[in-house]
Structure 1
Amino acid sequence: MVRALSFCAASPPAAGPHRIGAGRSSEVFAEGPDRVVKLYRQPFEPEAVVNELAASRLAHGFGLPVPEAFGIVGRAGRTGILFVRLDGAPMTVRYAYNPLGLLPALRRVARIQHAIHACPAPGLPSQHARLRHQIEGARVPEPLRRAALAALDRLPVGDRLCHGDVHPGNVIATGAGLHLIDWQKASAGDPAADVARSELMLRYGRLGPAWFSRLFPVRMARRLIAAWYVASYRAASGLPNEAIAAWRLPVAVSRLFGRPSDTDAELLAAIAALARQRPDSESASLFSGPGRSPGRGQPECCR
C-alpha cells in the first residue's frame, strides 16, 4: 500500500543494474540468480540500516517468514543490505485485481504479526522512545501533541518484537506463502501499538495518486479493510479492542513526523477527533471493529 519493495521482477527494470523494486527510502536490485541488494537512497540513516539487518536476522532466526539477510554491503557509493531473493510480488500487486482474495490474505498477515509478537526483541530500540521522538517532531498543533504525549505516558513500554510497518506493501506473496520485508522500523514494544500502526497504514497509507485516495468509496473500503484486519488479529490473539484503541492517538500523531503524505489532512482531522474522545472509549472510536474477547494464548514460536 505504501513504499512497496518488490523482491521479484514486478516493475520494469531501470537503466544499469536490474532494479526490481523501489520505495521512498530505498531501491532493490537483483544480484545474481538468488539474491537481491536493498540500496538506501541518499541521505539515509545509518541506524536504520543497522536496525533492519539486526531485526531481519532476529526474525529469521525465530523461524518467521522473513527473507534471510546476509549483511551490509556497498554498491556504487551507496549502502545497502544483501538479502535472499524471494520469487513473488507485493500483496498490493498480487491482489490489485482480486479484492475478495485480499481479505483472507490479510487474515494470514494478521496471524504472522501475532506470531512476531510472541517473540522477544533483545537489542532492538524502544518503540516507546521512538514514538515519543516522532510525536515531539510531528506536524500537529501543540494541543494535539500534548494529548498524544499524555496518552503515550499511560501506555506500557513492552518488550515484544514489533515490525513497526506491517502493511500489504511490505508483504511479498510467494509460492511458499507470505513473507514480511522492510524491518528498518522494528523495535521492542507493545503488540497493541504495532497493530494500531498497521490499522493506520491500511486506512491512511499512500495508495496511488492523491485524488484516488480522496474518493469516498475508496475511503470507505479502506476503513472496512482496516476493521477486518484488526478483527483478524484479535481473533488470533484475543487482544481486547480497548488495548489497540488506547494506542491510536499517539500512533496517528507519530505518522505526521517526517515527509508529508497525500493523506495528511485527512489524518489530521481524524487525530483531532481522537483527541476529543475519552482515552478509554471503545464505542466512539473512529476505527472500532468487531473481534473476539481476550483470552487466546500466544502462538507456538520463538521459544
Structure 2
Amino acid sequence: MELIGRGRDADVFALDGSRVLRRYRDGGPVREEARLMAYLAARGCPVPRVHDVTDTDIVMDRLTGPTMAQDLGRRPWLAHAHGRTLGRLQSALHRVPAPGWLPRRFPTGREGADRVLHLDLHPENVVLTPGGPVLIDWRTAAAGDPAADAALTVAILRGVVLGRMQRAGVRVLLRGFLNDCAVDPAPRLAEAVAARFTNPNLLPQEAERLRRFSRRVPGGN
C-alpha cells in the first residue's frame, strides 16, 4: 500500500483510485467512529463514505482536493472566507441530534439538547473536494453542548505555532469562524482550553501558546 498521509495518531494508505485505508497506530474506537460516520452520512452531513472497518482500520472514500490548511498555505487571502466555511460546517453539524450510543462530553444538562460534536474541527480536518468541503477524522467525536465544540476549535487555533504573517492569517480565520458560528463559545472556553491541555498529541510549542492564551480566558489558569 502507498502511504499518502501521516497524522499525529494515524496513517492513511491508498488502496486504489477511489478508496483509502486509515490505520490508527494505537488502535482505538474505530468501529464506533465508522458507525458515527454512517449515521452522519445518512443525515446529509459531508463525511467520507465508509466501505469496511476492522479493529484498527477504516476503509473509506478517497477524497480529491487539498485540506483547508493546505489551501490556506497557497492562498492565505482566503483566511476569512475559509473561517466562515468552518463556522457554517460546525453549525450544520450541531443541528444533528446525538444518537443515544455516542459517548457524552461537555453535556448541556438539558433533556434532548445534546448534539453531535466533532471536538477536533480545524482546517487540517476539512478536505476541499470538487463537490464541497468534507469533514474528516471523527475519532474524538462525542455528544454534548455545541458551545464546547466551538470553544475547542478556538482553543486549537489559538495554539497553532506559525510565523508572524501566518499568525495574522489565523486571527483572520478565527474572526471568520466566529462570524458564522451559531453559538457563543465563551461560556465553555476555559473548560475547552483545559481539555485541550490533556490532548496527548499536543506539541510543546502549542502548549506554550495555549498557556499564554489561557491567562486571558476568564476562569482559565
Tell me the TM-score normalized by structure 1.
0.65
Q: Equivalent residue for 1:121?
A: 98
Tell me which moved more, 60-69 or 107-116: 107-116
Q: Once superposed, which parts of structure 1, at least 4 consecutive aligned residues long, lie more than 3 Å away?
A: 155-158, 215-221
Cα deviation per residue 1:126-152 (whole Å; 9 max; x = unaligned)?
A: 0127xxxxxxxxxxxxxxxxxxxxxxx
Q: What amino acid is the match of 2:187?
A: A
Structure 2 unaligned regions, length at least 5 = none
Q: What amino acid is the match of 1:115?
A: A
Structure 1 unaligned regions, length at least 5 = 1-16, 130-154, 208-212, 278-303
Q: What amino acid is the match of 2:151?
A: A
Distance 1:177 1:195 in 2: 21
> 3-state SS of the aligned residue for 1:246?
helix
Cα deviation per residue 1:25-63 (whole Å; 9 max; x = unaligned)?
A: 10111112211100111x23x22x233212211111111
Distance 1:86 1:221 in 2: 26
Match of 1:82 among 59, 62, 71: 59
Decide whether the 8 Å contact of 1:203 with 1:219 is kept in 2.
no
Q: What amino acid is the match of 1:175?
A: P
Decide whether the 8 Å contact of 1:161 with 1:186 is kept in 2.
yes
Decide whether the 8 Å contact of 1:57 with 1:68 is kept in 2.
yes
> 3-state SS of the aligned residue for 1:273?
coil
Decide whether the 8 Å contact of 2:117 with 2:149 is kept in 1.
yes
Cα deviation per residue 1:128-181 (whole Å; 9 max; x = unaligned)?
A: 27xxxxxxxxxxxxxxxxxxxxxxxxx647510111111110000111111000
Deviation at 1:204, TM superposition (A): 1.2
Distance 1:59 1:276, change over 3 A: closer
Q: Given the alignment of the two structures, is residue 274 of structure 1 paired with residue 217 of structure 2, yes or no?
A: yes
- Paired positions, count: 215
Distance 1:19 1:200 in 2: 30
Match of 1:72 among 50, 53, 59: 53
> 3-state SS of the aligned residue for 2:148?
helix
Distance 1:195 1:29, change over 3 A: same
> 3-state SS of the aligned residue for 1:115?
helix
Decide whether the 8 Å contact of 1:51 with 1:183 is kept in 2.
no
Provide the identity percentage: 30
Q: Equivalent residue for 1:223?
A: 171
> 3-state SS of the aligned residue for 2:106?
helix
Match of 1:94 among 56, 71, 84: 71
Distance 1:177 1:165 in 2: 19
Distance 2:210 2:71 in 1: 27
Decide whether the 8 Å contact of 2:79 with 2:172 is kept in 1.
no
Tell me the TM-score normalized by structure 2.
0.88
Deviation at 1:216, TM superposition (A): 4.5
Match of 2:208 among 243, 265, 273: 265
Q: Equivalent residue for 2:142?
A: 187
Decide whether the 8 Å contact of 1:69 with 1:83 is kept in 2.
yes
Decide whether the 8 Å contact of 1:28 with 1:38 is kept in 2.
yes
> 3-state SS of the aligned residue for 2:217?
helix
Q: Equivalent residue for 2:10?
A: 26
Deviation at 1:266, TM superposition (A): 2.1
Deviation at 1:89, TM superposition (A): 1.6
Larger gyration radius, structure 1 or structure 2: 1
